[in-house]
């Protein structure tokens, strides 16, 4: 990792941490309510289902053709992020290890807030199968706008479809919103665990190098392409 890459990651990470911190300050009651109200059996059920959905999504992401169009992310237009822009939410994990761990814990705690607003905006608009399809596609593509690669965004149609299905299977709007949010949260929890393991392995191969040798450095392992969906 070059000096310019490290600086770029620090800038983006700072923006992410501040944004998540502001969400917690304004909407902490959502996280408190969800984490305190979940029963053990509910956590097990949603964790298992979230793992299944993530497994299907991850497998699909491995099938995406390796070409410039599908790998494009507007973050790659920033010189220091060309090799790390496939998953903006993962960038802080490349910082000093204790800071990276603190970020992941902070992100995990804030998941109910983030996912609730996503579910309210996307699944809350479902009124029939046509709207379900449209909002699921929109849910996937909006991640491209926040820096995910095009291919990584498209594959998010899969979890988005599961969230929509869980929402529509409930008897009313409120129950649907709670159910889809619960699944969304534990999908993300499992994704955070998976990505943390991948990044921990990759960190061992990322050593600081002088900026002048950027063109001679060995290519770093590809960052996880599976987006955690942080808006």
How much is the pTM?
0.85
Q: Where are the domains of the chain?
A: 3-216
Question: What is the model's pLDDT at position 17?
Answer: 92
CA proximity to 228, closest of 124, 82, 128, 108: 108
Other residues' Cβ atoms within 10 Å of the Cβ of residue 195: 21
| pLDDT at residue 136, as a whole number | 95
pLDDT of residue 79: 79
8 Å CB contact between 173 and 126: no
Say if CB 108 and CB 192 are below 8 A apart.
yes
pLDDT value, residue 92: 86
Q: Residue 97 has which token pair?
A: 């290890």
What residue ranges of the chain have pLDDT lower than 50? 209, 211-221, 227, 229, 231
| CA–CA dist 6, 95 (Å, integer) | 8
């Amino acid at each position: 990792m070059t000096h310019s890459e490290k600086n770029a990651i620090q800038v983006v990470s700072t923006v992410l941490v501040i944004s998540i911190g502001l969400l917690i300050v304004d909407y902490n009651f959502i996280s408190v309510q969800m984490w305190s109200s979940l029963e053990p059996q509910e956590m097990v059920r949603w964790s298992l289902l979230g793992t299944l959905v993530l497994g299907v999504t991850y497998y699909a992401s491995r099938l995406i053709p390796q070409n410039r169009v599908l790998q494009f992310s507007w973050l790659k237009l920033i010189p220091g992020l060309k090799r790390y822009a496939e998953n903006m939410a993962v960038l802080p994990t490349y910082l000093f290890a204790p800071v990276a761990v603190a970020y992941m814990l902070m992100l995990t705690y804030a998941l109910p807030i983030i996912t609730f607003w996503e579910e309210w905006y996307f699944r809350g608009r479902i009124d029939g199968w046509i709207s379900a399809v449209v909002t699921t596609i929109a849910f996937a593509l909006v991640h491209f706008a926040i820096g995910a690669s095009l291919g990584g965004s498209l594959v998010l149609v899969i979890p988005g479809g599961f969230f929509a299905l869980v929402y529509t299977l409930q008897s009313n709007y409120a129950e649907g919103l709670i159910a889809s949010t619960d699944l969304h949260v534990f999908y993300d929890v499992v994704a955070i665990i998976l990505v943390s393991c991948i990044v921990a392995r990759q960190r061992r191969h990322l050593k600081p190098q002088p900026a002048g040798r950027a063109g001679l450095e060995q290519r770093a392992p590809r960052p996880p392409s599976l987006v955690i969906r942080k808006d």
